[in-house]
Amino acid sequence: MGFDEEWQQARAEAANRMRLAGADDGTGRGEPGTSAADLALSSRQLKSIGHEAYELYAGLSAGGKHASGTSDAAAVDLKADGFATGSALATAVDTWNSQVSTLKDACARIQMHLEGSTTAHHEHERDVVAKLSVSKIDQYFR
């Protein structure tokens, strides 16, 4: 079986498993009478995770640079005194700062992605509900 055939089969199987649930009211549960999905995550949970990512970002901004000034000064002093440790410490400080910056960027991306996902989910849900409503109305005019 080729890739295209496997892909079509996987899409068909996924379509068979999909269920349309009611609009999310922030509790992670759909409307009464709908079956629970295998994996459910509410807007409130997404916002909470996004908030935690923001808190981590803010903490890294302050705490990640806590020892930077004294470490830089120590590296300069050690180099001036002819110690090879000064260069190694300067390299360690640069690596640390780079890694803190990378982690802060990741936290910011997580937070922004979760906010965007929540907004996009609500917009998509409104579109689906509107289309279904129009579809039901349309049945009566045929």
**Residue 53: strand, helix, or coil:** helix
The structural domains of the chain, with segments of one domain joined by +, span 42-140
Q: Which amino acid is at 140?
A: Y
Query: How far is residue 24 from each of residues 36, 60, 61, 124, measured CA to CA in Å?
Result: 12, 33, 35, 11
Which long-range contacts does 55-58 make (Cβ < 8 Å, 24+ apart)? 56/107, 57/104, 57/107, 57/108, 57/111
- C-alpha 78/C-alpha 31 separation (Å) is 67
Of 18-22, 95-99, 115-119, 133-137, which has the strongest mean pLDDT?
Answer: 95-99
pTM of the model: 0.55
pLDDT at 39: 59
What value does the mean pLDDT of the chain take?
78
Query: 71 CB contacts (<8 Å, ≥6 apart)?
Result: 89, 92, 93
Query: How far is residue 36 from each of residues 15, 19, 22, 92, 121, measured CA to CA in Å?
Result: 17, 9, 10, 50, 17
Evaluate whether 23 touches 129 at the Cβ level (below 8 Å). yes
Evaluate whether 101 touches 68 at the Cβ level (below 8 Å). no
Closest CA to 22 of 34, 7, 13: 34
Residue 3 has pLDDT above 90, yes or no: no
pLDDT at 32: 44
Residue 81 has pLDDT above 60, yes or no: yes
Of 26-40, 50-64, 75-89, which has the strongest mean pLDDT?
Answer: 75-89
pLDDT at 118: 73
Q: What is the pLDDT of residues 21-53, one digit of tens each?
A: 444 445 544 444 444 555 566 778 888 888 888
